[in-house]
Amino acid sequence: MINNDRIVPITTVDLLTMYGLVLAVGLASAPTALDATDTEGDFTQATNGATVICSEPVKSFNFGASVTAGTVYFVPAYDYSGFSINGTAAATAGATVEADGRTLYSATLSSGTITVAKVGF
């Protein structure tokens, strides 16, 4: 329902699904959903050059051994610990991640560097 300020509330989808829908509309191709590994919030990306969106808040994210490039869209979990490449912790460039459980970020791996950016709508 539209109120006096013309704000339409989001009531039927969760925040991550809404972010995915907005990205699908705004990007040339929609990011692929990536599920966590066996541990909640821990993700591994094994496909080189892929653009993904994490299906739940991210505690940790690992770019696999065969991955030299890729982009991940993510919301950091409250216990966010960062990124790694082939299992080794990696420093990131760009924006500082605030582990607030709601802000959308992108992380791009290129030439061995992970660059984080806050996504603004």
Residuewise pLDDT in 10s, the chain (121 residues): 556 776 767 777 777 787 777 787 777 778 888 999 989 999 999 999 999 999 999 999 999 999 999 999 999 999 999 999 999 999 999 999 999 999 999 999 999 999 999 998 5
What pLDDT is recorded for position 3? 63
3-class DSSP state of 69: strand
What pLDDT is recorded for position 29? 76
DSSP label at residue 96: P
3-class DSSP state of 22: helix
Encoded tokens for 38: 């066996």
| 71 to 5, 10, 50: CA distances (angstroms) | 36, 27, 6
Domain ranges of the chain: 15-118
